[in-house]
Structure 1
């Protein structure tokens, strides 16, 4: 009888402990085996803390190009070369008089050589000719001039072509005078200095031709 009395309470205690064990085991399984879908991390929707440092400003291609005056200088000179070459080719198709044809041929040959020399230098000094708003405007102006000249023929074309060359080379000299002080690379500065001398020679030739036609 005493033995049976002792076993009954022990059995009751063991059965009572089973739910607690199951809860402990389920808790372990919840952490290790099953995802907790109802748990929301604290402050999940709160804005990120201000670290005190603003993001680095970005620069688009136009701004980056404008920040490099040497690249813009090369781009402007290249645009001038390309326009003079195109204008000379147009002049050849208009069957001009011999003096105007010789002038156009001279400009075509020298600006072609200069254009290639500028490209070679750009590779050597690792400066890309930039396409800034100023360069784009230079190209647009050249295209507009070619369209204007295209409608002319004979003496009207010749006079307009020579006048355009005088005006264009005068503007190119002013551009170079403004850009030369911004150039820091010695080789590029020398190239632009030589470019200025060539442009001045073309301008003088154009003025002489212009005067002979008046």
Structure 2
């Protein structure tokens, strides 16, 4: 069941069919705008989704709330990948695999870095980001306890390093999205070799 965004919060009450259909159309337009690199302006979204401006604002009171709805599936996927990584036997492989997946996601879905870098406007987004942070902290702590990563490296260190990798990959603007994602994975692999220690 979809839990639509209403007045800046996530409600567990399902929408009527017509309202849910409008919600889906609005989010689909938001997704398209993000993929095209078009700034989200709610009046423009309303026109593109063929719904009234008031309808858009009922569901999404700000462009940021719509951006968070667009990013929600990608963030949920990252949570799942982090949980799967924690189930792996080798702590270094688990950390490396998750970071490579995260780098790929940040290049192929522009809503993810945008939402991760900004203050959350929806409680559900804040909770999801908190869970992601906790899961990543566990992955890093496990690798450090295993002796595979220096204990001086912190989760706060990793975030700007990931941003630098994504920035370097995006400089190759003439490449396809998948090609830029491949470059990001390569750059990150080089960086990770620098922080990896043999236990």
TM-score range, shorter chain: under 0.3
TM-score (norm 1): 0.24
Which structure carries more helix by proportion?
1
TM-score (norm 2): 0.26
